[in-house]
Every structure is written in structure tokens, then in C-alpha cells.
């Protein structure tokens, strides 16, 4: 556990472009430090976004950041002493989740989960969050989402290098499995303030489906896009709306929005995402963040606003 005061802030200014399509506005938000690879992963109700740039290839380490409205200035969000950090989730109380690596070999870098808490004094407290059941080589622990109750979700890799979902409560320091009966693997990827968890699981036949379930283990909702063998939910808001993606027959990911109350699924793709769109986070205003891949195979951060 590290405890530090932030005293140095490096600023970067966003590269922005917007495109309106069928009642939806897609805005590209890229850190100019690497305009070829950005992913926006989480957004809270104030519109503050967590994400990172850098593909993770050798000499292109993941570098975490946050960016707030009007989306012009990036603030670095790196675990101290890390070589790579992905800032994956951000709660309304500014608690953040993520994972980090001490190396940047570009192949087989171990990663470790953390939670970042902001004290009233402005002091930042980092908590190491690594499920002790991890058994993979290299070690893989990733914290992917967090709510304002400081309950986080993520996954670790087992001895077969298969992901296994869990939740972690800061108040107790306890890990709880988040699994689906009959699945060989899975991950918990997002959690609402009502402790509604989303994620995905894989069955023995290789079919990967999305799920939503309360942390207490209530009714399980599963979803699979038609004619797709892979569907994943990656984020969920307090209205029970989950976002994620499915793999289409073209082998590219396509964005999906799923309302757990109505059972309605909506599919959207960034107009520039000719090689895929992924939706990763959603707030209670319905703002969505994610990323898309363009015709040149560059990955860009994406903010989605519905205009009707």
C-alpha cells in the first residue's frame, strides 16, 4: 500500500472530433501523447472519464489518465513506480480502479490490481487488490470497476490461465467469487451503486455470454447477441443499463446497450469504427465511453451522447 500526496501534474490537451449519426453523437477523445492508441474505460456521473493511451507493445506502455468536461485536459493517473497502468473505472466519489505492471516487454507482462482512494485532505491512498487464488504464470489480477461504496470487481487468472471473477470490498478487505454455474471461466467487469454486477462467462463449448446479477447472488440475467458466439458486458449504471460488445460475423466487435428492465438491446457503432466498436462504461445520464478501431487499425477513445 502506498500513500502519497499529488504534487506534480503534467497536462496534455485532447484531440477532439465529433460526429452525429441517427440521434447519437460520437466524439473522439485522444491523448496527443499517442493518437494511435487510446481507450476510454469508465465514466462517472460528473462526466469524468478514466482511460489510458499506449498499446502495451514494447516502448508503448499503457499510461493511465483521467479527463473531465469540457474534455480538453488530461491528468496522468499512474500507480507510483509502475511502468504501465490502466485506469479502468471511476466512481462518483472519485475512487478509481485499475491495474498495473512493473514491466513493458510487450509479451507476458504480469499485472496487479489496485484501488485509488482520494481522502478529504487531498491525499491519495493506493490499495493493492490481488486475489490470493491467482495461479497463472505470469500473474494476472485486474480490477475493472468500482462503485461509490468502494466495492470493486475484476478477475484473476487460474492455473489454466483462465479468468475467474471476483468482487472486493474495501471496508472488509474480503474477496468474494463472482461466478456463473456451469461456466469454465468468467470475469466481473462493472458494478453499479446498487451492487448490480455485470460481466461475462464462457461455457465448456466455448460460447461466451454476458451476464448481470446482484452481488448478493440474486436472479441471473444472461444475454447473447444473435448469431454471435461472444458477447460481453463491460459496464453498468444505476438504471440497470449495461454496455459492452459482441463479435459479429465479420469478426469485428460491435457495441451493444442492454436494458435489464425492458430486456431491449440496442446496437451502435462509431461511424469511423470500420474495424470495430467497444462500449466500456456508462453513467446514469446515459453517457457512454469506449473505443473504436479505424481503417488504419488505430484505436481511438470514444464518448457517446444520445441527442434524442
Cis peptide preceding 70, ω within 30 of 0: yes
Whether the CB-CB separation of 87 and 52 falls below 8 Å is answered with yes
Cis peptide preceding 143, ω within 30 of 0: no
Q: How many whole angstroms from its chain centre is CA 192?
A: 13
pLDDT at 22 over 70: no
Q: What is the mean pLDDT of the chain?
A: 93
Measured CA to CA, the distance from residue 24 to residue 307 in angstroms comes to 5
Distances (CA, A) of 126 to 79, 88, 152: 8, 15, 13
Residues in the chain, how many?
308
Q: Average the pLDDT over each of 145-149, 178-182, 213-217, 265-269 and give the range with the smallest value.
A: 213-217
- pLDDT at 23 (0 to 100): 83
What CATH number is associated with residue 239? Answer: 2.120.10.30
Measured CA to CA, the distance from residue 193 to residue 286 in angstroms comes to 15
Q: How many whole angstroms from its chain centre is CA 123?
A: 25
- The conformation of residue 170, written as its DSSP 8-state character, comes to T
- pLDDT at 19 (0 to 100): 61
Residue 194, domain extent: 2-306
pLDDT at 1 over 50: no
- pLDDT at 2 (0 to 100): 27
pLDDT bucket at 21, cuts 50 / 70 / 90: low
Backbone angles phi, psi at 284, to 5 degrees: -75, -15
Give the model confidence (pLDDT) of 226-259 as tens digits.
Answer: 999 999 999 999 999 999 999 999 999 999 999 9
> Domain count of the chain?
1
Computed on alpha carbons and rounded to an integer, the radius of gyration of the chain in Å comes to 18
Give the model confidence (pLDDT) of 131-172 as tens digits.
Answer: 999 999 999 999 999 999 999 999 999 999 999 999 999 999
Percent of the chain with pLDDT over 70: 94
Q: State the burial class of residue 163 (Cβ atoms within 10 Å of its Cβ: 0-12, 13-18, 19+).
A: buried
Measured CA to CA, the distance from residue 255 to residue 21 in angstroms comes to 15
Here the cell at position 115 is 484501488
pLDDT at 279 over 80: yes
Amino acid at each position: 500500500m502506498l500513500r502519497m500526496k499529488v504534487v506534480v501534474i503534467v497536462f496534455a490537451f485532447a484531440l477532439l472530433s465529433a460526429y452525429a449519426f441517427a440521434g447519437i453523437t460520437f466524439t473522439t477523445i485522444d491523448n496527443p501523447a499517442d493518437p494511435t492508441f487510446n481507450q476510454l474505460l469508465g465514466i462517472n456521473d460528473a462526466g469524468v472519464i478514466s482511460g489510458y493511451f499506449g498499446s502495451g507493445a514494447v516502448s508503448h506502455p499503457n499510461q493511465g489518465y483521467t479527463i473531465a468536461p469540457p474534455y480538453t485536459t488530461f491528468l496522468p493517473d499512474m500507480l507510483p513506480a509502475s511502468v504501465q497502468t490502466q485506469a479502468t473505472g471511476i466512481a462518483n466519489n472519485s475512487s478509481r480502479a485499475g491495474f498495473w505492471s512493473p514491466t513493458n516487454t510487450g509479451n507476458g507482462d504480469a499485472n496487479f490490481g489496485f484501488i485509488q482512494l482520494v481522502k478529504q485532505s487531498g491525499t491519495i491512498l493506493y490499495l493493492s487488490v490481488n486475489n490470493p487464488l491467482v495461479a497463472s504464470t505470469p500473474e494476472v489480477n485486474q480490477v475493472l470497476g468500482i462503485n461509490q461504496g468502494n466495492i470493486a470487481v475484476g478477475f484473476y487468472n487460474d492455473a489454466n490461465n483462465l479468468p475467474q471473477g471476483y468482487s472486493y470490498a474495501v471496508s472488509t478487505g474480503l474477496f468474494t467469487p463472482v461466478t456463473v454455474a456451469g461456466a469454465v471461466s468468467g470475469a466481473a467487469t462493472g458494478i453499479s451503486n446498487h451492487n448490480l454486477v455485470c460481466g461475462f462467462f464462457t461455457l465448456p463449448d466455448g460460447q461466451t455470454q454476458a451476464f448481470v446479477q446482484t452481488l448478493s447472488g440474486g436472479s441471473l440475467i444472461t444475454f447473447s447477441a444473435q448469431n454471435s458466439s461472444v458477447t460481453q458486458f463491460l459496464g453498468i449504471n444505476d438504471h440497470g443499463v449495461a454496455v459492452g460488445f459482441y463479435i459479429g460475423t465479420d469478426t469485428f466487435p460491435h457495441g451493444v446497450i442492454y436494458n435489464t428492465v425492458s430486456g431491449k438491446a440496442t446496437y451502435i457503432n462509431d461511424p469511423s469504427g470500420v474495424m470495430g466498436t467497444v462500449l466500456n462504461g456508462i453513467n446514469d445520464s446515459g453517457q457512454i465511453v469506449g473505443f473504436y478501431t479505424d481503417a488504419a487499425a488505430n484505436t481511438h477513445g470514444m464518448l457517446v451522447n444520445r441527442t434524442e
